Each structure stands twice: as structure tokens, then as C-alpha cells.
């Protein structure tokens, strides 16, 4: 292994351990390493702005800062932020990136930052958590649907996910090459059974294996539930709890804007159900909200036969301005100065 790779990889391991990013995945149910969260732990300000050409920049001032292009897909924003964090942790000076994923003829600094970013976001340990929770083998990732769902939980693009598996030598470069010939748009269409979604919208498919997690879709994304179906023995999934938490959930086939009275309060899981939003829009972004369903026979008063599906969603903001962590710090400092 080349020397710069060893340095960057070791540093990434230290950062994962010392910031607690690894512990969040192991113990708190998070599925991904969040570079914006890591930046906040270091007092590095993160700003999302629309750029014409740049993908990101690292600015070393008395307070260091990272800029990322807000108009790029979330996966690319995460990887860019991780790359800029590489510049920060590796002690590099201010720099700007028109692209990331530098080739072997590029400046050593950039290759170092790239390697750090991959080691930070797509480590074996991080991937292994999701594989274990979902019951997937490496072979199961040859199904584009699984690879796509893994990429969402890791927080990188579908293509970056495929190449990460090759980088980790979990499969061959030819496998990654073959998998990336499939367009994510095709996979999304196959999940929804239709194509009426924006290009940047990702489609999350949640099943019974996604219990007790903190899933972090973007506010733009669509979240679909596919829970085990025991309707033949009279069991239905009750939506009461989720609705009382403020979530709006409707069958996938229902029209996008049904009258409020048409919303069902139970579903038999034969059809996929779609998380359509939250009654309080301000609560939707940047907060971790518990989401639970109970499976019961509607006519039974006794509760001992109930099954539960509980998980949490923390919708990631998509837009311009400081990251949630940076805003929190700014306001805290503002309070103490006032």
C-alpha cells in the first residue's frame, strides 16, 4: 500500500473513534458516518451554497470552515464534506475543489483527502453494521435494489457505493463496473412502480429489518414501508401512533393530495405505504422523530398479541445556509455574547 493511503486511513480510524462517530453507529442506531456532524464536533463551520463550478472548499481561518455546493445530490455533498474534512485533519491549507475523486496524477494532498473521505464514510465496520441488520451477504449486493438501499443508509451515491466495495476488495472492479451501468433512476422506478419523482429524490424502502434505527433521508426523499402481512389472520398495522406523532402516511397508490378524512388509520401491508410528510413542517427537518406502528386485530381489546415496528427518522435538511450543527454553535455563541 502506498504511504499516503496508510496515513489517511489511520487518521480516519482515529477520527471515527475519537469523535464518537463510530459509537453512534454501534450503539445509537445511526446507519452512516455524518461528516457534517463530525465537522461540528471539531468547531469547523459548514456552509452550503450554490456554486457554479466548485464542488467544495476548505478555508483555514481562525475558525476553520468547509463549503459545499448545495445544488449537488446528498451523497456527493457528504463525500465532498468528508474530503474537505480530510484537508482539515491532514493539516492542509485552504483549498478549493472543482471535483473530487482525483486520479493518480493529481496533487498528493488531493489524493490523501480523497482516501481519507472514503475511509471515513465507507469503512468495513460501517458497512458491516447495515449488512448485518439487513441480513445481506456481499453477494446480495449484486441485486441493484440492495446496493441502492445500502448506499442510502451509508449516505453516498450508488456509484460511490459500488466503487467502495471494490476499494475494500469485497468484490472485483469488474463487479463495480457492471453495477454502475445500471442507472439509479431505473431502480427508483422499479420500487415505486412509476416514474413521477424528481431526479434528486431518493426512494427509501423500509422493511421489518429497519427496526430501532435512526434513518436519515433528505427532506426531498420518499420513504416507503413494506411490512410483513398477516391480514389473513386478521392483523392490521395501526397508524394511530405514527399519526399522533404528526406523520402523514398514505397508501402508495392513493392520490398525492387526498382529503384529510380519506387518510386510513390502518393498513394491511399488502400495499406499500408512503411517508408523505409531517403536519408540522418545521419539525420535519433536523429533528429525530420516533416512528412506530403496531400490528393488531382491530377488534381485540387485549394487547398481548401485538407486534411492533419502531424506528426513528431524522430528516436531513436540503438547502442553503449553515449546517444544523454550525447554526447551533453560532446561536450558542450569540447567547453567551448577548
Partner 1 sequence: MTGPTKTVRQELAERLRGAREYLGLSQDEVAVTLQLPRPSITLMESGGRKIEATELDRLARLYRVSIDYLLSGREPEDTKPKQFAFLARAVKGLSESDVQEVARFAEFLKMSPK
Q: Inter-axis angle of helices 74-89 and 3-19, to 10 degrees? A: 100
Q: Which stretch binds partner 1 (CB under 8 A): 28-36, 53-61, 114-122, 254-262?
A: 53-61
* Shortest distance, position 79 Cβ to partner 1, whole Å: 17
> Of 1-9, 43-51, 120-128, 291-299, which segment contacts partner 1 by CB under 8 A?
43-51
Neighbours of 55 (CB within 10 A): 21
Number of Cα atoms under 13 Å in the Cβ half of residue 174: 0
Q: Quote the CA–CA distance of 153 and 32 in Å, as a whole number.
A: 6
Q: Which of 15, 57, 192, 214 binds partner 1 (CB under 8 A)?
A: 57
- The nearest distance, CB 221 to partner 1, in angstroms, is 20
Q: 1, 53, 257, 280: which one contacts partner 1 (CB under 8 A)?
A: 53
Least distance CB 219 / partner 1 (angstroms): 14
Q: Which one of residues 9, 13, 47, 276 is an interface residue with partner 1 (CB under 8 A)?
A: 47
**Shortest Å, Cβ 304 to partner 1:** 45
How many residues does this entry show for the chain? 338
Instruction: Pick one of 5, 49, 220, 226: the residue that binds partner 1 (CB under 8 A).
Output: 49
Could you say which residues in the range 211-270 bind partner 1, by CB under 8 A? none
What is the crossing angle of helices 74-89 and 108-121, to 10°?
120
Spatial contact of 253 and 284, defined as CB atoms under 8 Å apart = no
Give me the sign of the Cα torsion angle 135, 80, 54, 328: positive
Q: Where are the alpha helices (DSSP H) in the chain?
A: 3-19, 21-27, 35-41, 74-89, 108-121, 124-134, 144-154, 158-167, 173-179, 184-192, 240-244, 281-284, 324-337
> 62 vs 233, which CB is nearer to partner 1?
62
Q: How far is the CB of 59 from partner 1 (least distance, A)?
A: 5
Choice between 39 and 249, CB closer to partner 1? 39
Closer Cβ to partner 1, 47 or 288, answer by number: 47
Under DSSP, the state recorded for 28 is: S
Site residues for partner 1, 63-102, by CB under 8 A, read 63-65, 67, 93-98
Q: Which is nearer to partner 1, 50 or 246 (CB)?
A: 50
Which positions from 306 through 325 interact with partner 1, judged by CB under 8 A?
319-322
How many residues belong to the site for partner 1 (CB under 8 A)? 34
The smaller minimum CB distance to partner 1, of residues 6 and 63, is found at 63
Alpha carbon dihedral 295, 297, 302, 306, in 10-degree steps, equals -20
Dihedral over Cα of 332, 66, 50, 195: its sign: negative
Does residue 9 belong to the site contacting partner 1 (CB under 8 A)? no
Q: Which of 5, 189, 297, 327 lies at the binding interface for partner 1 (CB under 8 A)?
A: 327
Burial class of residue 297, CB neighbours in 10 A (0-12, 13-18, 19+): middle
**135: phi > 0 → left, psi -120 to 50 → alpha, else beta; which?**
left
Q: Which position among 27, 61, 105, 304 is part of the footprint of partner 1 (CB under 8 A)?
A: 61
Pick 84 or 295: Cβ nearer partner 1: 84
Interface residue with partner 1, options 13, 54, 219, 307 (CB under 8 A): 54
- Confirm or reject binding of residue 41 to partner 1 (CB under 8 A): no
Query: Looking at the DSSP assignment, which residues form a beta bridge with residue 45?
Result: 65
Q: Which is nearer to partner 1, 199 or 338 (CB)?
A: 338
Chain centroid to Cα 9, Å, comes to 22
Instruction: Give contact residues for partner 1 (rule: CB under 8 A).
Output: 45, 47, 49-54, 57, 59, 61-65, 67, 93-98, 319-322, 327, 330-331, 333-335, 337-338
Amino acid at each position: 500500500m502506498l504511504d499516503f493511503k496508510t496515513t489517511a486511513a489511520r487518521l480516519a480510524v482515529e477520527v471515527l473513534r475519537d469523535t464518537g462517530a463510530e459509537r453512534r453507529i454501534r450503539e445509537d442506531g445511526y446507519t452512516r458516518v455524518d461528516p457534517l456532524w463530525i465537522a461540528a464536533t471539531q468547531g469547523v463551520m459548514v456552509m452550503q451554497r450554490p456554486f457554479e463550478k466548485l464542488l467544495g472548499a476548505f478555508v483555514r481561518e481562525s475558525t476553520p470552515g468547509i463549503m459545499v455546493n448545495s445544488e449537488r445530490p446528498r451523497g456527493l455533498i457528504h463525500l465532498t464534506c468528508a474530503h474537505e474534512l480530510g484537508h482539515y485533519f491532514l493539516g492542509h491549507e485552504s483549498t478549493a475543489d472543482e471535483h473530487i475523486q482525483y486520479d493518480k496524477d493529481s496533487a498528493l494532498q488531493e489524493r490523501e483527502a480523497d482516501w481519507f473521505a472514503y475511509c471515513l464514510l465507507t469503512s468495513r465496520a460501517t458497512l458491516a453494521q447495515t449488512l448485518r441488520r439487513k441480513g445481506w451477504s456481499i453477494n446480495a449486493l449484486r441485486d441493484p435494489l440492495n446496493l441502492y438501499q445500502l448506499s442510502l443508509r451509508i449516505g453516498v451515491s450508488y456509484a460511490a457505493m459500488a466503487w467502495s466495495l471494490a476499494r475494500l476488495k469485497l468484490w472485483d472492479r469488474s463487479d463495480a463496473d457492471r453495477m454502475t451501468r445500471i442507472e439509479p433512476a431505473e431502480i427508483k422506478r422499479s420500487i415505486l412502480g412509476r416514474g413521477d419523482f424528481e431526479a434528486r429524490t431518493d426512494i427509501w424502502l423500509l422493511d421489518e429489518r429497519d427496526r430501532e434505527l435512526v434513518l436519515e433521508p433528505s427532506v426531498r426523499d420518499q420513504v416507503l414501508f413494506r411490512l410483513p402481512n398477516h391480514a389473513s389472520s386478521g392483523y392490521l398495522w395501526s397508524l394511530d401512533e405514527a399519526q399522533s406523532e404528526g406523520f402523514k402516511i398514505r397508501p402508495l397508490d392513493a392520490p398525492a393530495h387526498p382529503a384529510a378524512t380519506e387518510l386510513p388509520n390502518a393498513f394491511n401491508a399488502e400495499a406499500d405505504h408512503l411517508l408523505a410528510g409531517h403536519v408540522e413542517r418545521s419539525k420535519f427537518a433536523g429533528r429525530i422523530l420516533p416512528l412506530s406502528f403496531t400490528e393488531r386485530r382491530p377488534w381485540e381489546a387485549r394487547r398481548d398479541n401485538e407486534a411492533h415496528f419502531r424506528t426513528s427518522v431524522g430528516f436531513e435538511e436540503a438547502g442553503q445556509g449553515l449546517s444544523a450543527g454550525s447554526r447551533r454553535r453560532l446561536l450558542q455563541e450569540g447567547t453567551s455574547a448577548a
